[in-house]
Amino acid sequence: MRNALPLAGLLARVAAVGLLLALPGCSAAAGSDSIAGRDSLVVGVKADQPGLGLAGPGGTFRGFEVEVGRYIARHMGASRVGFKAVTSENRERLLDAGEVDLVLASYSITADRSTKVTFGGPYYVAHQDIMVRRGDDRIRTVRDLAGRRMCQAAGSVSTERVIEGLGVRTGLVPAPSYAACVDRLLDGGVDAVSTGDLVLAGFAARSRASLRIVNAPFTEERYGVGLRKGDIDGCEAVNKAITEMYQTGSAQRMLRVWFGSTGLRLTGSVPEFEGCS
């Protein structure tokens, strides 16, 4: 009977430790909820952005972000990698619902978005530029967008950088995606489309006779890998994979394959990471 109280105290202490480990934010829970080391991962990519993510026959996807997503997932330990189409509007919802595990979809890292998801990377730092119809010389810099019709893709922050960030007043014409924006540009419904140069380059390459990039970059677009909020282990695994991707020359090869013929000045060094938090 002399050992009863010490034993009871020991059991209570063990129970308390188990309760702490079960609480959100504790290391044991964080590790078990992480996508790091999972055998199967689903990567969310765009389906209508040539050069970055484009849906093909039979549910296949092609593009720079598709290849980067596959590389990262494989180096995180996944033997099976699937892809699912996402849009700028539904990226966070599909992550939260567990329908996708990673998102690589011209997903610029911003303070507001970082409250909703955890960002790995960036895996590339693009520069916001402007695309116009070939032969239209009225727009040479971002200031020339004043008074023009600029397309606003749903869920994108690129137009905010022009209007709110730089104070350039344009007439916004809404569209559901950048593919729809390009259609509006081609048919004369808008005067310009402005977003990251990698996005623009893919579309310009397909419509070389009709569209051109102004080549007057004015901001940076840090394309990050979206993960469910709080997955620090997954974020660190993503950053490790991105570092290896650049150090082995894989990133540079992929950039050349998809954008080498566009005339863009491509960056081949490892981007400065945001840090996982």
* pLDDT over 60 (residue 47): yes
Fold of 34-125+222-259: D-Maltodextrin-Binding Protein; domain 2 (3.40.190)
Supply the CATH classification number for the domain 127-220.
3.40.190.10
Is there a shared CATH topology between the 34-125+222-259 domain and the 127-220 domain? yes
Q: What is the mean pLDDT of residues 151-176?
A: 95
- Output b/e per residue, 128-146; b: 16+ Cβ within 10 A: bbbbbbeeeeebeebebbe
At 63 the pLDDT is 97
- Looking at residue 2, its pLDDT comes to 41
Reported pTM: 0.82
Does 16 have pLDDT greater than 70? Answer: no
Element (H, E) at 67: helix 64-75
Residue 130 pLDDT > 90? yes
Residue 228: how many other CB atoms lie within 10 Å: 21
Backbone angles phi, psi at 44, to 5 degrees: -85, 125
Q: Residue 40 corresponds to which tokens in the numbers above?
A: 């199967």
pLDDT at residue 277 in the model: 77
Closest CA to 149 of 178, 176, 169, 134: 169
33 CB-near residues (< 8 Å, 6+ apart) = 228, 230, 231
pLDDT of 19 > 60? The answer is: no
For the chain, the domains span 34-125+222-259, 127-220
**Confidence category of residue 32, pLDDT binned at 50, 70, 90:** low
pLDDT for residue 128 is more than 90 = yes
Average pLDDT over residues 219-227: 95
Mean pLDDT of the chain: 88
Alpha-carbon gap, residue 123 to 271, rounded angstroms: 6
User: In 3-state terms, what secondary structure has residue 101?
Assistant: coil
Mean pLDDT of the 129-134 span: 96
pLDDT (mean) for 154-164 = 93
